[in-house]
Amino acid sequence: MRFPQELERWEGNTVEHWRRAWNLPRLHILEWTGSTNDDVRTLAQERAPQLTTVIAERQTAGRGQHGRSWQGSPGKSLHFSALLRPAETPALTATPIRVGLAVARALTGLLGIDIKLKWPNDVLLNGRKLGGILCESTTGRETFVVVGIGVNVGQDAADFDEDIRDRATSVAMAGLGVSRAAVAGALAGALTNLSARSALELSADELSELAHVDALLGHDIEIDGTPAGVARGISPLGALLVEKNGSLTAISGGTVRAKHHAFSPRLRGNPSDQGLD
Ligand code: BTN
């Protein structure tokens, strides 16, 4: 299948060059689309192979977590979705956390600055949101996971809406001259390594690596605006562990924010932004 709005060239090279460089079975780079996650799901239903990837310059219906919209800047942000076909039915709640860990590892390696994660799937740089991950699973006769990743690469502060400007960041704002192609290559590499692993639960090694990148760990948090206790890490099934009055609860949903954090002030305006809480 070819999309009518498919590009032949991107970031100074042919799409075929990037497909080979990133070792992907299929790569579509689109001038625009609704949501790259929807495109990958359509391709998955047409039997596309694992790691089939769609990138778009512009999304007209980009989705974020919690049903929010995701808005990028054409030519500056990366909208990237890839298909995972787990060999066994994985713990689908653990999968997004495992993906986040792989993305954090890859971006830390590429950028040389520690990337942190805010449960479940915010990617933080210097305490601000650099990007987000939206994993959408389809179970049934065939189980697959569409991994959608949005990364702010070339934006200046002025590219972000005023209501999120103090909480969002980009690769360029961190003073790094790293291209969208380099970021996409790092993400493709992260997912390639990950696709070989299909353990049901997060392993002890993964949990200990997560503890190093968990931006919430040890902080007082609120869930959906209500004080919830102190974040105590992630469970093997990917839930957020919260301690209150001496007992530990595993939280599997809700909008979490840490109190007194750069990335946590309440929104003043409409939260149709970059999933900032
Ligand atoms: C979040 O809310 O933090 C997750 C944002 C995920 C955005 C990406 S951009 C590529 C892919 N396509 C979408 O519609 N969403 C994801």
> For residue 269, what pLDDT is reported?
29
Task: Tell me the whole-structure pTM to 2 decimals.
Answer: 0.93
Which residue(s) pair with 28 in the sheet? 54
Burial of 208 (0-12, 13-18, 19+ CB in 10 A): exposed
My answer on whether 236 and 122 are in the same domain is: no
State which residues form the domain around 186: 9-214
- Compute, in angstroms, the gap from residue 219 CA to the centroid of ligand 1: 26
Do residues 215 and 231 touch, judged by C-beta distance below 8 A?
no
Same domain, 116 and 244: no
Closest atom of ligand 1 to 131 CA is 3
For residue 230, the cross-strand partners are 220, 243
Mutate to test the pocket of ligand 1, among 35, 63, 80, 97 (most ligand atoms within 8 A of CB): 63
How far is ligand 1, taken at its centre, from the CA of residue 55, in Å? 11
Is 37 part of any domain? yes
Cβ-contact 99, 194 below 8 angstroms = yes
Predicted pLDDT at 44 = 96
Mean pLDDT of successive 10-residue stretches along the chain, which has 277 residues: 92 98 98 98 95 98 93 95 83 88 97 96 96 92 92 96 93 96 98 73 94 97 95 96 96 88 39 51
Q: Give the pLDDT of residue 268.
A: 29
Report the pocket of ligand 1 as residue ranges, CB < 6 Å.
Answer: 35-37, 59, 62-65, 68, 70, 79-81, 121-122, 132-134, 148-150, 275
Return the pLDDT at 92: 76
- Residue 218: the pLDDT is 96
Q: Which residues contact 22 (CB under 8 A, 6 or more apart)?
A: 53, 184, 185, 188, 189
- CATH code at position 29: 3.30.930.10
Asked if 175 and 240 sit in the same domain, the reply is no
CB 188 within 8 A of CB 195: no
